[in-house]
Amino acid sequence: RIVYQLSSDLKDEFDSVHVASTGGLWESKLLSKGVQHHKILDVDSKNPLTMVKILSSFYRIIKNNDITIVHTHHRMAAFYIRLLKIINPKLIHVYTA
């Protein structure tokens, strides 16, 4: 619900707002507000292959959509974005627990 509220509010401030999640109840509501949703694997997974896939997913989402600011709420999502900042130091990352 928090991600839905934030993304809805940010839609008024930014040209494009994206949410990456495993999906769920709020997915259709995000789409109805014009927020683009990207389905990803569970960021809590410790399976090395899954971790590589998640990192790759985040990389593609950020690159393909020219995303410059990423706001994460999960410690593992923050970890992946910090890794991506190594190859893209201009990426701005905001983390809220």
Domain containing residue 16: 1-39
Q: Please measure the distance between the N-terminal and C-terminal CA atoms of the chain and give it in whole angstroms.
A: 14
Give pTM, 2 decimals: 0.91
Same domain? 61 vs 91? yes
* Residues 7-32: tens digit of each pLDDT: 999 988 998 999 999 999 999 999 99
Write down the pLDDT at residue 1: 79
80 dihedral zone (left: phi>0; alpha: psi -120 to 50; beta): alpha
Residue 57 structure tokens: 């997913």
Same domain? 51 vs 91? yes
Same domain? 84 vs 46? yes
* Residues 27-81: tens digit of each pLDDT: 999 999 999 999 999 999 999 999 999 999 999 999 999 999 999 999 999 999 9
